[in-house]
Amino acid sequence: MFFAERPTKTPRPSGASQGEPSPKPAAQAGAHYHGHRDRLRARFKESGDSALADYEILELLLFRLIPRRDTKPVAKALLARFGSLAGVLGAPANLLQEVNGIGETVALDLKLVANIAQRMLKSELREKHVLSSWSSVIDYCHAAMAYETTEQFRILFLDKRNTLIADEVQGRGTVDHTPVYPREVVKRALELSATAIILVHNHPSGDPTPSRADIDMTRTIVETAKPLGITVHDHIIIGKEGHASLRGLKLI
């Protein structure tokens, strides 16, 4: 059985009412959240991330970024605003700074973590046969694009063994449109000696359902690329909660 240490009474400051609680000393408040940090680190060390909720994982990250503040409210506010851990890391820096407790430096550090995660996924993709590692393609594209606030058109260029030789953003647009020029897509593939490409773009609305314009544009690229020996394997549309494959939907 464990017994809490009996609190010692401290003199009430003069002028304070009998029913009003004494303010907690700053040192005591600091000791409280530093003790919480030690316990959280110990849980992570013993059991890994499976023992922690998303807000606690975010807390662990924020400990070093915000060393002199209780980061639990900040972590919970970030998740409430952006919906998930992926949403927090995918959010633009300017929107992160709208959350109380997140300044420019912390926002940029969070974006650095997101970029490191994307590079890890991309490096794994480079080492694999892309068509037989489709889940890795989706994971990378989702991490890179799902939380963009405007449309982004990306192309994965592949060699004859279907390994990745280049990954390039070809255009950025508005919240619901980005200009795509089929001849420029094919021209760039020829410059890189690519024999196949995968088209990817995001829908900031979150719904990955392809539009009529998406389908028509994809078919135009397929028709332009085919005579030049370039195969369009797929066009993937990324949303916050999932993705759509035009090849899988039999639209190309």
Q: What is the per-residue pLDDT across 38-62, written as a single tens digit (0 to 9) for each?
A: 888 888 888 777 778 999 999 989 9
Contact of 22 with 13, CB cutoff 8 Å: yes
Same-domain status, 102 and 144: no
Across the range 108-131, mean pLDDT stands at: 87
Length of the chain (residues): 252
What is the C-alpha separation between 204 and 178, in angstroms, rounded? 11
pLDDT at 93: 94
Residue 122 lies in a domain: no
Contact of 105 with 93, CB cutoff 8 Å: no
Residue 8 lies in a domain: no
Q: Pick from 25-29, 50-54, 55-59, 233-237 the range whose average pLDDT is largest.
A: 233-237
Same-domain status, 94 and 183: no
Among the ranges given (165-179, 196-210, 224-238), the one the predictor scored with the smallest mean pLDDT: 165-179
pLDDT at 3: 34
pLDDT band per the 50, 70, 90 thresholds, residue 6:
very low
Report the CATH number that the domain containing residue 82 is assigned in CATH: 1.10.150
Same-domain status, 139 and 99: no
The 10s digit of each residue's pLDDT in 93-117 is 999 999 999 999 999 999 999 999 9
Same-domain status, 193 and 230: yes
Same-domain status, 159 and 112: no
Residue 195 lies in a domain: yes
Same-domain status, 144 and 112: no
Say how many domains are in the chain: 2
Helix, strand, or coil (residue 89)? helix
pLDDT at 15: 46
Per-residue CA distances from 240 to 33, 124, 176 (Å)? 34, 22, 14
What is the C-alpha separation between 160 and 162, in angstroms, rounded? 5
Last residue of a domain, one of 74, 90, 116: 116
Report the CATH number that the domain containing residue 236 is assigned in CATH: 3.40.140.10
Across the range 73-89, mean pLDDT stands at: 93
Q: Which domain holds residue 69?
A: 28-116
Among the ranges given (121-125, 182-186, 226-230, 245-249), the one the predictor scored with the smallest mean pLDDT: 121-125
β-pair partners for 142? none
pTM: 0.73
Same-domain status, 215 and 241: yes
Strands (E), the chain: 152-158, 164-172, 196-202, 231-238, 243-245
